[in-house]
C-alpha cells in the first residue's frame, strides 16, 4: 500500500500580499489580547468586554469605550471570536446573543440592554451551561419589562386623540370696549 501523500506546504506569500499595508486585516479578532486574557475567556470567567478593545484606538474626545452599542458590538465580536477558537459549537449561540442585545437596544434604548448583558455574562460565568442563544426571562423581567410598560403607556398617551383646547372668548372689538353704563352717560 502506498503511503498517504503529505499535505502540500502552504504557498509562500506573494509579493503583492507581502506589500499590502493592511496586514491587520488578515489577523483574527483578538490577536492583540494577552494569552492570560484569552485563557480567562476560555475558562468562562466574567470579563469587562470593553477591556478587549484596542486602547490605542480610544478617541480623545467623544464616546469612550462602553458609551455606544457600536463599541459594545466591537468588543463582543472580539470576545465571541476568542470563545469560538476553543468552542466552535458555541458560535451560533454567540451570534444569536449579539442579535438579542442589538434588538434590546433598538427596542428599549437607554442602557438597560447593557445591564442585561453584564448580568447575563456574570450568570454565564457561574453556570457554563447557560444557553447564550436564549433570552434569560428573569433578566428580561428585571431590565426590560419595566421599560416595556413605560413605552406602552407613553405610546398609548401619544396615540389618544388630543383634547380640544378650552374655548377662548372671542376677542373684544374696540367699539364695544366701553360698558353699557358708560355709553348711556356719554349720550346724555
Asked if 50 and 78 touch (Cβ cutoff 8 Å), the reply is no
Residue pLDDT tens, the chain, 188 long? 555 566 555 555 555 545 545 555 677 888 889 999 999 999 999 999 999 987 545 555 554 555 689 999 999 999 999 999 999 999 999 999 999 999 999 988 888 999 999 999 999 999 999 999 999 999 998 888 776 666 665 666 666 665 555 555 555 555 444 544 544 454 54
Closest CA to 41 of 78, 92, 93: 78
- Delimit the domains of the chain by residue range: 31-56+63-156
Q: What is the CA radius of gyration of the chain?
A: 32
Whose cell is 458590538? That residue is: 73
Question: Distance between CA 188 and CA 180 in Å, rounded?
Answer: 13
Whole-model pTM: value is: 0.62
Asked if 28 and 81 touch (Cβ cutoff 8 Å), the reply is yes
Kindly give the residue spans of alpha helices, DSSP state H, lying in 90-136. 91-108, 112-126
CA distances from 42 to 72, 81, 87, 90, 173 (A): 19, 11, 8, 12, 83
Asked if 113 and 99 touch (Cβ cutoff 8 Å), the reply is no
Q: What is the pLDDT of residue 183?
A: 47
Question: Distance between CA 172 and CA 24 in Å, rounded?
Answer: 78
In tens, the pLDDT along 89-134 reads 999 999 999 999 999 999 888 889 999 999 999 999 999 999 999 9
Amino acid at each position: 500500500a502506498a503511503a498517504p501523500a503529505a499535505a502540500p506546504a502552504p504557498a509562500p506569500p506573494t509579493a503583492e500580499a507581502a506589500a499590502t499595508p493592511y496586514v491587520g486585516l488578515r489577523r483574527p479578532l483578538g490577536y492583540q489580547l494577552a494569552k492570560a486574557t484569552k485563557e480567562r475567556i476560555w475558562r468562562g470567567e466574567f470579563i469587562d468586554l470593553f477591556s478587549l478593545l484596542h486602547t490605542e484606538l480610544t478617541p480623545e474626545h467623544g464616546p469612550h469605550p462602553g458609551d455606544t452599542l457600536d463599541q459594545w458590538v466591537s468588543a463582543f465580536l472580539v470576545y465571541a471570536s476568542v470563545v469560538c477558537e476553543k468552542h466552535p459549537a458555541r458560535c451560533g449561540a454567540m451570534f444569536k446573543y449579539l442579535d438579542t442585545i442589538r434588538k434590546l437596544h433598538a427596542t428599549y434604548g437607554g442602557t438597560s440592554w447593557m445591564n442585561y448583558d453584564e448580568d447575563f455574562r456574570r450568570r454565564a460565568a457561574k453556570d457554563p451551561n447557560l444557553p447564550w442563544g436564549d433570552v434569560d426571562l428573569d433578566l428580561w423581567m428585571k431590565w426590560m419589562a419595566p421599560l416595556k410598560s413605560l413605552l406602552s403607556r407613553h405610546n398609548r398617551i401619544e396615540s389618544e386623540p388630543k383634547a380640544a383646547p378650552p374655548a377662548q372668548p372671542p376677542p373684544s372689538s374696540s367699539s364695544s370696549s366701553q360698558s353699557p353704563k358708560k355709553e348711556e352717560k356719554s349720550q346724555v
